[in-house]
Structures are given as structure tokens and as C-alpha cells.
A and B are shown apart, each in its own frame.
Chain A
């Protein structure tokens, strides 16, 4: 009897301690919701902001320019997450003049935005602005996920403006099993309409990502995971909170863009691999890309399976292809992301 009472008391103490830690986390300040590194806005267009990272004295750097291109369907600050865990910050400290695109949250009218608007409009003008500011006619580009797709398409169209290209977890071969588009295709989900597009709500975008891990991403799964995590120290929970504030803060997406991405690059279409992809009326010819290219995949990536990412070899034979342990987000911003950051700096500084 006494042992049972002891066990109940221990359980009560553990539950209360978890609630106390949860309260500490929920009421503590901390960094979330924006990039961690001080930056200035150097260009704005529609919802897009082009940020230039500043050094410790508040001044821009003067090294070779690097433009980070995140996925338009998620917040940019995954690339600049925390003061001591920032991919963009790490590259900046290595001496580069770092810029990051914040695509912002599309409004209802932006449902008409298509691939050409993103690649030949927003991205092209951002590159042009970086070139103008830094007086460098060719700059380095680091594209992440769908941002990598946009970067690849842009570079194929404007190779002379890109000195080096880094693609992170960028899906190339959509016929490889796994990933969001493949799962949606298997489930028979109807694609978005190009002609009558809608602004796809953020909660629906989130649902697509959650489709990839149904157990852990159900309400019960999430609550249980959080409850179990509350045994961790408060400092660690604050880090988790910062990551959660990126994972759960998704943005809506232009239906026309998603429609075009699916029609061109979805399973069964795969026009990048077929070498019939276009942006607007312009064909994409990856053979025009002669600059150094680094492509990095994540071994445990559920969103962009590694084999689908590594297929870049067939489009750009001279590309350096690298596979790192970890998941889609972890290799960029997780606790083991330093390996990717260091390799990126080495690649960008190679002669």
C-alpha cells in the first residue's frame, strides 16, 4: 500500500513539475518569429522583403554576396533561427555579404501568382538588387526546398548572374517514392486549379506536411509528444519553442503556383527530368549551368526523399552531390546542422 502511495506521489510531483516548466516556457521571452541576426531591408516588392545581414557593429559586410532563397510556403527565418543556431549567420561570420529573401505571407490577390512571377519576377529582381548593391555581376545562391527549385530554374535561365549554386533538399525527380507530391498523388488528391486559383489556407498547407507522419502529427500525438518533452530542461524547451514557432507558423500559398508546380514537376509529369520544363514561355536548359553546384539531401527526409534530390546528377552532371544524416529541417537548423553550414562555407570559398 505504501509503495503504491509513493508511486502516486512521485507521479503527482512529476506532473506538477511538468506544468511548472510549461508555465516557465510559455511566460518567458525569447527569440521567435523573425530572423535572429540583425538585418536591414534593402528591397521590397509586394509582400517580399530582401534582408541584408549586418555585422556586430551594425554594418553590412563587404565579402562575396550570398543570397538565401527559402521556400515561399514557409517562414524564411528557419535559415536564421537563433543567435547561436543560424545558417545565414554562420555564413555571414565566415566573411560573406549575406542576403535573405522573406517572401512574406501572400494575400488573397496573390493567388494569381505563378511560377514566372516568382522566378522571373521576385527572384530575378532580388538577384539584380543584390548585384547592384554589392557591385558583383554574379552572386552565390543558396536555395532551400522549394526555394531551391526556384533557384535552379532561375539559374538555368540566367546562368551568367550566378557564380555558385547550393541546393538544399530540393526535389528533382518527382517519380521517386515519398514526399508530399507523391503521397498526395497516391491518395488521389485533386491538384489546385490554374485557371481558377484559390489562396490555399495555411492550415491546409500544414495538413499536407502532417500527412507524411500521420501518427505523430495527429492532435493526440502532438499533445502526447509535448507532454513527454516537458521533462526536459527549460532552456531546451525554449529552443523547441523557437522551432515550433517556425514549424507551426505556416503561410498560405498561391493556388496557381502550386497548380503549375504540380503540373510541371509532380509525379507522372516530372518535366525537369524530362527536360521539358518551362518558366513562362522559356524552356529550362540545365546544360547552360556551368558554374559549381552543390546539392545536399537529407537521409531521413520525408518531404523531399534523398534519392529524388540526388537525381540532380542527371541534369547537372558536374554537380557535387552530398547526403547528410538527418531530416528535412534538421540538417538546416537542427543541433547537427553545423556539418551542412561548414560544408557550404567550404564550397562557397573554394577556388
Chain B
């Protein structure tokens, strides 16, 4: 009898549920106002994604460029990409120089380097450094 008295009625459970709904609603409103990223994450969730940290990918707006502007931008992009390619070639040169320096140190060409068993390395040109031991892949 005592247990049945403590069980909430259906009406009481509905009221509790309504109060919980209010808490949920205020929690969302609170986050929307205080948390800048929350709206973005909610937007992603409404697209069915839990993507965090950035908006869900969408089609970028097409810039209305005149043909002349588009041609100029195209030329600039080609120049910029050519610079990236040059950067890569420079990196190759620098790596080759590093390998040459490392090889020189190993075979003791520098007067203050400690003598160590030489290890053969291949330079970019394929030339093999002389040494006591050759490594193979």
C-alpha cells in the first residue's frame, strides 16, 4: 500500500516531463547564447552530421568575375603553382646538399669530425659515396 502511494500518477509524470522539457529548452537557449560554436554544430546536426569545428561543406558562392579578371586570376594561379614547383626543386637541391655534407662528415673530410665507420649513401644523382660498409635496401 505504501509503495503504491509513492508512485507518481500519470498526470504527475506528465507534469514532471513538461518541467524536464523546459529544462532541456533552456539548456539549448543558454548554449545558443553563450557558445558561439553551438549554433554551427546544431546546424550540422540538422543536416544529420556531427561534424565538429567547422560548418558542413556546402557549395561555395560563385564569384561573378569579368572575363578579364578571370584570365588574370588564371595567369596568377599558374605563376603561383609554378612557384610551388620551384620550391619543390629547391628542396631537392637542399636535401642533396645535406646528403653531401653528411657524407663528408662521415668520411672525415671535416677536420673536427669524429671518425666513424663510413655508411654509404646515395645522392640524388645516384653516385655512391665510398665507405667501409654499404647498405642495401
Residues of A bordering B, CB below 8 Å? 2, 5-6, 9, 12-13, 16, 19-20, 22-23, 25-27, 30, 32-33, 43, 45-46, 107-113, 117, 121-122, 125, 128-129, 132, 135, 137-138, 159-163, 201-204, 206, 219, 221-226, 237, 240-241, 244-245, 248-250, 291
* Residues 30-47 (chain B) with a chain A CB within 8 angstroms: 31, 35, 38, 41-42, 44-47
Q: Which residues of A contact B42 (CB under 8 A)?
A: 26
With a 10 A CB-CB cut-off, give which of A109, A125, A129, A163 has the most chain B CB atoms. A109
Partner among B13, B17, B44, B52 whose Cβ is within 8 Å of the Cβ of A33: B52
Interface of B is mostly: helix
Contact B17 A225 (CB under 8 A): no
Chain B residue at smallest Cβ distance from A34: B53
Chain A residue at smallest Cβ distance from B31: A27
Q: Could you tell me the distance between the alpha carbons of A244 and B54 in the complex, rounded to whole angstroms?
A: 12
Q: Which residues of A contact B20 (CB under 8 A)?
A: 13, 16
Contact B81 A45 (CB under 8 A): no
Instruction: Check: B84 CB closer than 8 A to any chain A CB.
Output: yes
Q: Could you tell me the distance between the alpha carbons of A26 and B30 in the complex, rounded to whole angstroms?
A: 13
Contact B84 A109 (CB under 8 A): yes
Contact A26 B41 (CB under 8 A): yes
In angstroms, how far is the closest chain B Cβ from the Cβ of A215? 13
Contact B10 A5 (CB under 8 A): yes
Interface of A is mostly: helix
Q: Which residues of B contact A219 (CB under 8 A)?
A: 47-48
Number of interface residues of B (CB under 8 A): 52
* Residues 20-36 (chain B) with a chain A CB within 8 angstroms: 20-21, 24, 27-28, 31, 35
Q: Could you tell me the distance between the alpha carbons of A206 and B58 in the complex, rounded to whole angstroms?
A: 10
Q: Which residues of B contact A5 (CB under 8 A)?
A: 10, 14
Instruction: Check: B135 CB closer than 8 A to any chain A CB.
Output: yes
- 6 A-B pairs within 8 Å (CB atoms) are namely A27-B38, A108-B73, A121-B88, A223-B47, A223-B48, A249-B51
Q: Which residues of A contact B122 (CB under 8 A)?
A: 137, 160
Contact B50 A237 (CB under 8 A): yes
A16-B20, A45-B91, A163-B137 given; A203·B57 CB < 8 A: yes
Q: Rank and list the top 10 A-B pairs by shortest CB-CB distance, nearest first.
A: A222-B48, A138-B137, A241-B50, A109-B80, A223-B48, A109-B77, A248-B51, A244-B50, A203-B57, A26-B41
Instruction: Check: B130 CB closer than 8 A to any chain A CB.
Output: no
Contact B88 A122 (CB under 8 A): yes
Q: Which residues of B contact A237 (CB under 8 A)?
A: 50
Q: Could you tell me the distance between the alpha carbons of A27 and B132 in the complex, rounded to whole angstroms?
A: 61
Q: Which residues of A contact B102 (CB under 8 A)?
A: 132
Q: Could you tell me the distance between the alpha carbons of A225 and B45 in the complex, rounded to whole angstroms?
A: 11
Q: Which residues of A contact B60 (CB under 8 A)?
A: 201, 203
Q: Could you tell me the distance between the alpha carbons of A22 and B84 in the complex, rounded to whole angstroms?
A: 44
Q: Which residues of B contact A226 (CB under 8 A)?
A: 45, 48-50
A16-B21, A19-B24 given; A26·B38 CB < 8 A: yes
In angstroms, how far is the closest chain B Cβ from the Cβ of A46? 4
Contact A222 B53 (CB under 8 A): no
Q: Which residues of A contact B99 (CB under 8 A)?
A: 132
Q: Could you tell me the distance between the alpha carbons of A37 and B134 in the complex, rounded to whole angstroms?
A: 35
Q: Which residues of A contact B51 (CB under 8 A)?
A: 244-245, 248-249
A27-B38, A109-B80 given; A222·B137 CB < 8 A: no
Q: Could you tell me the distance between the alpha carbons of A40 and B15 in the complex, rounded to whole angstroms?
A: 56
Contact B50 A161 (CB under 8 A): no
Contact A249 B13 (CB under 8 A): no
Partner among A125, A222, A224 whose Cβ is within 8 Å of the Cβ of B49: A222
Q: Which residues of A contact B119 (CB under 8 A)?
A: 135
Q: Could you tell me the distance between the alpha carbons of A12 and B88 in the complex, rounded to whole angstroms?
A: 60
Instruction: Check: B95 CB closer than 8 A to any chain A CB.
Output: yes
With a 10 A CB-CB cut-off, give which of B20, B50, B84, B85 has the most chain A CB atoms. B50
Q: Could you tell me the distance between the alpha carbons of A308 and B40 in the complex, rounded to whole angstroms?
A: 40
In angstroms, how far is the closest chain B Cβ from the Cβ of A161? 7
Partner among A20, A108, A160, A202 whose Cβ is within 8 Å of the Cβ of B57: A202
Q: Could you tell me the distance between the alpha carbons of A250 and B87 in the complex, rounded to whole angstroms?
A: 26
Q: Could you tell me the distance between the alpha carbons of A12 and B47 in the complex, rounded to whole angstroms?
A: 22
A33-B52, A45-B91 given; A23·B31 CB < 8 A: yes
